[in-house]
């Protein structure tokens, strides 16, 4: 937010001026950062107080003197933005522009006036209010629903999906090689399809329900599908390892995307944990080679460990 205010003393005597700007949020709601009050393009630290609920500037204004006040801040976690006017005061030469990113439709809070101009852009919607010689009890405001930010985060999530999927696929191949299973193309394709179905499922559910609930439901359903399928065609230990890989490469990375403030920290911690797991596993399988990961173990072990193969032998008997 950047608000510019021009103040002029029209009298012949100097006046004592108090400029008060209340913060646009309630206690425990959202967060403001980079809050600044500029007086004639610079901060007046001596006469400015940044209080819990407002900014206060006090000073003397000489006759015919003008001041240019500018309020700046960036908001986070707010579900709406409302700009209020002093009740019973005429509004002159007022202009405000709000850019709402990632949304094709915009809603407004109760008791607020609609914009005088609405423009659709490539990034969202631009709202403009131009008021002159207006007397009103209404304020200016716009609702900022969670789905706007979620839509952007889901877009980022899907852009990163191929890279994390390749890591998941590599881990899946290593798990199967260590477990002594051959790389069965059809089985890997089925697991891969289930993996990618998480994204459209989460995207559609987030439209109709809470984001946290939709993520838990999507992640849980797809995870159960992958775990149960792996349990049927492989051993239980292999299924648990596949589920762990799914959690690391889809679950944790998705959470990191949904929490952009902590994305770097989450991914770094995840990388350290994955490295520790890889070092531990490879230390127990020192003789494993890359060719073995993409090769086919001997048929005897395959038939012994594969429950599907065992079922065929039983039928033959």
Distance, in Å, from the CA atom of 71 to the CA atom of 38, rounded to the nearest integer, reads: 6
- The total number of structural domains in the chain stands at 3
Same domain, 109 and 167: no
Please, which pLDDT band fits residue 286 given cuts at 50, 70 and 90? low
Instruction: Decide which of 77, 99, 134 is a domain's last residue.
Output: 77
Instruction: Decide which of 21, 55, 77 is a domain's last residue.
Output: 77
| 316 within domain boundaries | no
Distance, in Å, from the CA atom of 156 to the CA atom of 29, rounded to the nearest integer, reads: 26
Distance, in Å, from the CA atom of 207 to the CA atom of 41, rounded to the nearest integer, reads: 43
| 43 within domain boundaries | yes
| 189 within domain boundaries | yes
Distance, in Å, from the CA atom of 99 to the CA atom of 128, rounded to the nearest integer, reads: 9
Same domain, 93 and 115: yes
| 147 vs 29, higher pLDDT | 29
* Domain membership of residue 9 as a residue range: 1-77
106-165 pLDDT, tens digit per residue, is 778 888 888 888 888 776 788 898 888 888 888 888 876 555 467 777 888 888 889 999
Closest CA to 147 of 199, 203, 82, 81: 203
Instruction: Decide which of 144, 163, 181 is a domain's last residue.
Output: 144
* pLDDT value, residue 269: 92
Distance, in Å, from the CA atom of 181 to the CA atom of 282, rounded to the nearest integer, reads: 17
Stretch 193-214: mean pLDDT: 88
* pLDDT value, residue 231: 92
Same domain, 9 and 47: yes
Same domain, 268 and 174: yes
Same domain, 169 and 201: yes
Can you give the pTM of this predicted structure? 0.51
Same domain, 156 and 294: yes
CB 167 within 8 A of CB 182: no
């Amino acid at each position: 937010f950047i608000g510019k205010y021009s103040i002029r003393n029209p009298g012949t005597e100097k006046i004592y001026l108090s400029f008060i700007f209340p913060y646009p949020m309630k206690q425990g709601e959202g967060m403001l950062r980079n809050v600044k009050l500029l007086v004639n393009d610079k901060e007046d630290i001596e006469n400015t107080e940044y209080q819990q609920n407002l900014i206060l500037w006090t000073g003397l204004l000489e006759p015919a003197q003008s001041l240019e006040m500018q309020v700046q801040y960036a908001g986070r976690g707010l579900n709406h933005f409302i700009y209020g006017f002093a009740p019973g005061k005429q509004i002159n030469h007022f202009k405000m522009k709000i850019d709402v990113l990632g949304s094709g439709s915009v809603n407004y809070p109760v008791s607020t006036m609609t914009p005088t101009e609405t423009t659709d852009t490539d990034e969202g919607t631009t709202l403009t209010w131009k008021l002159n010689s207006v007397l009103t009890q209404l304020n200016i405001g716009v609702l900022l629903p969670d789905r706007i930010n979620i839509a952007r985060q889901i877009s980022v999530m899907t852009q990163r999906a191929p890279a994390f999927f390749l890591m998941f696929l590599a881990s899946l191949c290593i798990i199967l090689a260590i477990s002594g299973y051959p790389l069965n193309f059809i089985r890997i394709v089925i697991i891969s399809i289930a993996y990618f179905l998480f994204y459209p499922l989460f995207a559609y559910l987030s439209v109709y329900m809470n984001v946290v609930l939709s993520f838990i439901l999507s992640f849980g359903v797809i995870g159960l599908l992958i775990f149960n399928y792996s349990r049927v065609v492989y051993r239980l230990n292999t299924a648990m390892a596949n589920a762990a890989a799914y959690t690391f490469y889809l679950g944790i990375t998705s959470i990191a995307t949904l929490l952009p403030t902590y994305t770097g920290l989450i991914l770094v911690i995840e990388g350290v944990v994955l490295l520790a797991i890889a070092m531990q596993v490879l230390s127990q399988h020192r003789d494993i080679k890359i060719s073995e990961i993409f090769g086919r173990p001997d048929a005897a072990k395959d038939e012994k460990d594969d429950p599907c193969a065992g079922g065929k032998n039983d039928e033959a008997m």
